[in-house]
Amino acid sequence: MTPLAQGMDVRTLYGLPKLPAQDEPLVQAERRSIRTDIFIIGAGPAGLAAAAELGEQGYQVLVADDKPRAGGKLILQTHKFFGSESDCYAGIRGIDIASLLEDEATRHPSVTVLTNAPVVGLYKDRKAGIFLNYESYMLVEFTALVVAAGAREKALQFPGWDLPGVIGAGAFQTLVNRDLVKAYRKILIVGSGNVGLIAAYHALQAGIGVAGIFEAAGRISGYQVHADKIRRMGVPIYLNATILRAEGAEKVERAQVAAVDEQFQPVPGTARVYEVDAVLIAVGLSPCNEFLEQARRYGIMAVAAGDASEIAEASSAIYGGKLAAANLARMLGKKIMIDPEWEKTRAVLASRPGDSYERSPIIPSLEWRPVFFCSEEIPCNPCATICPVGAIQLRSMQGTLMDLPYFAGNRCTGCGACVAICPGLAITLVRRIADDKAQVVLSWEFTLDFDIGVEMDLVDQKGGFVERAAIISRRKVSSRNTWLLTFNVNAEHASKIAGIRVQPEEMTVALGETHDFNEPEPADVLDTVLCRCERVTLGEIVEFIKKHNVRDTNQLKTLRVGMGSCGGKTCSQLVAKAFALAGINPGDVEPPTQRPLFMEVPMGSLVNEGLHKLGGKDAGVRGAP
């Protein structure tokens, strides 16, 4: 990735590039290298937490990350995190947690974090190659390795999936939250995991409309409190529904969706078309563990941390990094005790949602009282730890962070701290001010470019309209970057009101009525590209499998399948469909050989030609990058 800069000459490449008319003689070549005890690939939450723990143990640690800032996916997260304040900074936004973790790691003098430093090779003699600042090449010699490279998004194939505008939810967050690019007007999201739910929230914050979230399963796969928050903001979630195709001339202009049955087949008469310019795919993640597998084949001492080990929330990755680092230290001979609570905490933070409970109705009194709209067990407790009078506690069901909060006191100060810190925007304050009137305090995490007196649509826990009311006061909680808005409402409705609608209902309306078209024609499916890098269609692959009786995925390389620039990371997830269509059980097929991660490094950079421009002829022997 090359950042754009003023004065650059950027051109579209057709075919092969032309070699220079005359090669210039080699001006200077130099080998750069550095030695460290522990080399960590990835400066996300797991990598930074591992670096801090290893730094605490006195090891020389070098962390390398390919992005311009440390923090991994935290850099893309503008929402407040779940978990606990003491364990994983719950109630703080991901982008701020990234800075806290980096500070925690680099306060150890023995820890160095390199950004813009992708790892481009791992070698049998315990060395790794780094493309430092995307300019020069440096070898890192190490004793042991921590792979905390995160995860990549899974792909979903359908007609039109290769159109510009079909994009992974994480890539969308990169555009919106890191690069501050408002690339789309209205999007449609496929997948209801936390990544898809959060992407909807980020889109709304960026002023981008969301037509809806479509989930093929019969239940939401992310946190219910996340889903309810998105529904309250005006984004519908459709279960047992999926995308059929994306349509457009040169980019996405429309998306067609339909309900699916128990076999995930489209139901006739349920297809709808939405006018959108992007389709976000959020159907899961797969670990980036190639360097881990390669290290193990080479006999290099290596451990995995974070998503490279287990796909879970960033809060869990922090503890995964600490545990991986401590275990590695013991493997290296350190006689240390690992706190058994670490693994318990990590397991809880990685937990899937538990049971759901129906909350008892609240009758507003003359005193302020919090109302909770989280009804599903998830690991979260910041409201209980932030309350200045200790009036909020977790109801002891499991005895962990999974327990639901409740009002356990007889006095609420009305400070709003619990409302402002709640990651799910799932707490309000209510009090009665007259027989038929009450006040309700709601959180607002968008630009506040309107005055007191403006009327807003107030909704219940699932997003159903309750009443329209005017803002009577507002207050910003700067420490949480959250507004608290107060409304006068009907006393009968006060404890039902859970949030404020953000986008108008017309943003979610489909074009016309549903119709009988229920799935793409078979020819359309077979003509769909499966290997995007090499432009090989599903039909070509199915025909090749039948003709040659293929039972080994590696044989598909004859068609160039998996040989493109992604290293087969995308199409390898999809070829099972081709074998199934060819009448072969995918479970009977030999999986493809895993290709190592790589990126293109110019020859001049590999030999550090003209290194004098990058730090002088002694740059490689100073003992530091």
* Owning domain of residue 319: 33-151+287-349
Supply the pLDDT for residue 205: 94
Supply the pLDDT for residue 25: 74
Domain co-membership, 341 together with 408: no
Q: Identify the residue with better confidence: 599 or 53.
A: 53
The answer to whether residue 295 is domain-embedded is yes
Dihedral sign for Cα atoms in the order 326, 327, 329, 333 = positive
CA distance 229 to 201: 9
pTM of the predicted structure, to 2 decimals: 0.90
CA distance 354 to 248: 41
The answer to whether residue 363 is domain-embedded is no
Supply the pLDDT for residue 28: 76
Domain co-membership, 486 together with 532: no
Share of the chain above pLDDT 70, in %: 95
For residues 321 and 349, the answer to whether their CB atoms sit within 8 Å is no
Of the candidate ranges 68-72, 238-242, 570-574, the one whose mean pLDDT is the lowest = 570-574
Domain co-membership, 98 together with 67: yes
Domain co-membership, 336 together with 446: no
State the average pLDDT over residues 608-614: 63
Domain co-membership, 374 together with 342: no
Q: What is the CA radius of gyration of the chain?
A: 27
pLDDT tens readout for residues 467-492: 999 999 999 999 899 999 999 999 99
Q: Which of 501, 535, 557 is the last residue of a domain?
A: 501
**Would you say residue 4 has pLDDT above 90?**
no
Q: Which two tokens mark 20?
A: 């220079």
Q: What are phi and psi of 9, to 5 degrees?
A: -100, 100
The answer to whether residue 1 is domain-embedded is no
Q: Identify the residue with better confidence: 567 or 404.
A: 404
Tell me the average pLDDT of the chain.
90
Alpha helices in 464-529 (DSSP H): 522-526
**Would you say residue 614 has pLDDT above 50?**
no
Q: Identify the residue with better confidence: 615 or 337.
A: 337
pLDDT tens readout for residues 246-292: 999 999 999 999 999 998 889 988 999 999 999 999 999 989 999 99
**Residue 100, domain CATH:** 3.50.50.60
Domain co-membership, 534 together with 422: no
Domain co-membership, 576 together with 495: no
Domain co-membership, 376 together with 492: yes
The answer to whether residue 193 is domain-embedded is no
State the average pLDDT over residues 538-559: 94
**Would you say residue 519 has pLDDT above 70?**
no
Q: Beta partners for 139?
A: 33, 129
pLDDT tens readout for residues 428-479: 999 999 999 999 999 999 988 888 999 999 999 999 999 999 999 999 999 8
Q: Which of 469, 501, 533 is the last residue of a domain?
A: 501
Domain co-membership, 56 together with 127: yes
Domain co-membership, 107 together with 139: yes
Of the candidate ranges 141-150, 303-312, 327-336, the one whose mean pLDDT is the lowest = 303-312
The answer to whether residue 120 is domain-embedded is yes
**Would you say residue 516 has pLDDT above 90?**
no
The answer to whether residue 68 is domain-embedded is yes
Domain co-membership, 414 together with 477: yes
Domain co-membership, 425 together with 529: no
**Would you say residue 564 has pLDDT above 60?**
yes
The total of structural domains in the chain comes to 3
The answer to whether residue 199 is domain-embedded is no
For residues 39 and 140, the answer to whether their CB atoms sit within 8 Å is yes
The answer to whether residue 231 is domain-embedded is no
Distances in Å between the Cα of 411 and the Cα atoms of 371, 388, 390 are 14, 11, 10
State the average pLDDT over residues 416-425: 95
Q: 224: burial class by Cβ within 10 Å (0-12, 13-18, 19+)? A: buried
**Would you say residue 312 has pLDDT above 80?**
yes
SS3 label, residue 294: helix
Strands 38-41 and 61-64 turn out to be parallel
